[in-house]
Amino acid sequence: MTADTYTASDGTSWDLTQECPPIPARCFDWNAVEENHEGEPCHAFGETRAACILDIEQRVSERAEETA
């Protein structure tokens, strides 16, 4: 399992992990959880790290629109 941290455009910090399914040829499922989120944790997903980051940024953008 690979793990790292990503700082989103709004300054929030997300823990990214790469989970390898039981099939050895498929090691590409990425998950992210916002580190300092108040209340329920916020999750993002993607088949690649880049796709997961795009999902994070989409969620950050949607949250900004909701609070505007």
Length of the chain: 68
More confident residue, 59 or 39: 59
Task: Please report where in the chains the tokens 């709004």 appear, as a residue.
Answer: 10
For residue 23, the model assigns a pLDDT of 65
Q: Where are the beta strands (DSSP E) in 1-68?
A: 2-7, 13-19, 29-34, 43-46
Output the pLDDT for position 40: 74
pLDDT at 66 over 80: yes
pLDDT of residue 62: 94
pLDDT at position 24 = 62
Span 14-55, pLDDT tens digits: 999 988 766 665 555 888 999 776 667 888 999 889 999 999
Give the closest residue to 3 by CA, choosing from 60, 55, 52.
52
